Amino acid sequence: MAVESKTENSLDPSSRGVPVNGSVLAQITPTWERPASFMLQNGLQVVVIPDHRTPVVTEMIWYKLGSADETPGKSGLAHFLEHLMFKGTEKHPIGEFSQTVRRVGGNENASTSLDYTNYYQRVPREQLPTMMEFEADRMTGLILKDENVLPERDVVLEEYNMRVANSPDARLNEQIMAALYLNHPYGRLAIGWHQEIEKLNREDALAFYRRFYAPNNAILVIAGDVEAADVRPLVERNFGPIPAQPAIPAQRIRPQEPEPAAPRTVTLSDPRVEQPSLQRYYLVPSATTAAAGESAALDVLAQLMGSGNNSYLYRALVVDKPLAVSASAGYSSISLDPTQFAVAASPRPGVSFADVEQVIDGVIADIVQDPICAEDLERVKTQLIAEAIYAQDNQAVLARLYGGALTTGLSIEDIRSWPDRIRAVTAEQVRAAAQKWLEKKRSVTGYLIKDTTPAKRKEKRS
């Protein structure tokens, strides 16, 4: 999802279970001014990130509610409700919020992931009071009518067709996630299952809205040309009168995965596949669930194995052999519950998946058995920390990264200390992480192949 574009129906990239090279936390560095944070009596957490380079402000509200929190049998409900949140309130009819954002030269967006739903506006700083009034109003004032709800359900179904049904890569990912998570709701994509989406209705959406949309289940992040002392009265005036929802538990409790016992494989064949590919996902701890030092070691391991032309997988599969046209690795650290470490490769014509897997297994075995080159270790740590510097150029990115981390159980100090934890990672920690977590029994390997079965000819009518 592009943060600067206006789409009312977006899914966060992480919601599809695709790990990104490097950690989301790589985008944060403690050289940035420390955000201010305070909490209202109704439980709303507020984070203010000053950025005075331009007279612009980003307001982003995060609900601790993602697809993994949905009622069983109603998958896609969190994303469906995200769409419906643009359908207006009694005070502000449908379209008024978005029209106001456009009129002042701003932009807006929203996204749903496995763990959260967020909404944001980026506008001139003098427009912040207006935006905050709109956002506070729709926290409790949403009005839904069937003439708006049912057509929007069709929009979501079409989005499923575009994002998943018509994308062989996405369909493979859907199947890998379902196989990786035997018990946890991460096993279904944030957009949901088609047959359940088509049954969602107005009552489902309103019940979900009333259950989860409340100040004590939200984090408000304000980034831009503001100071906390000026923001706090605005927040108290707009959000302060909204009552907390006492039924919302302090901690989200979900079904958890059993200890993996055996490797699994899935194969998806599709006539539209032009480039076969292999993806292997390992079940690993997230930044929230990992023991001290483990998540940072997995960050470094992913960078070392599969980020860039100097990475171990790329050199082994693309440069040295060559057996593949591409090779990569990634670790999705930002997750409330156990997450994924992925490796991927696309074999050259005539090269078997078995040959590619043999090399992947060899790279992992080398990391486990042989000392990691000190030069390589320092190179990848420098790369990760450099990403943190570059991210400071976009206040909306900073707001997104703080919100995503905070809604999945991390603290502001966890976020700011991430570069120090990367610097402290040792070669032994990386080796131990590979040995412990990149075990075959913890994995699902997916194969994407071209379906060459001749299409059935239509029978001629007599």
As a dihedral over the C-alpha atoms of residue 393, residue 399, residue 402, residue 406, rounded to 10 degrees, the angle is -170
CA–CA gap between residue 446 and residue 342 (Å, rounded): 11
CA–CA gap between residue 265 and residue 176 (Å, rounded): 8
CA–CA gap between residue 223 and residue 291 (Å, rounded): 31
CA–CA–CA angle 35, 37, 38 (5° rounding): 165
8 is catalytic: no
CA–CA–CA angle 79, 82, 86 (5° rounding): 150
Q: Which two tokens stand for residue 76?
A: 């896609």
* Cα distance between the two ends of the chain: 51
Q: Which two tokens stand for residue 134?
A: 């709109």
Q: Which residue do the tokens 């590979």 mark?
A: 434
Residue of 59, 70, 82, 152 marked active site: 82
Q: One-letter amino acid identity for 297? A: A
Residues with Cβ within 8 Å of 66's Cβ and at least 6 positions away in sequence, in order, are 15, 78, 112, 113, 114, 115, 116, 117, 190
Q: Please return the burial class of 229, using the count of CB atoms within 10 Å of its CB with bins 0-12, 13-18 and 19+.
A: exposed
The catalytic residue positions are: 82
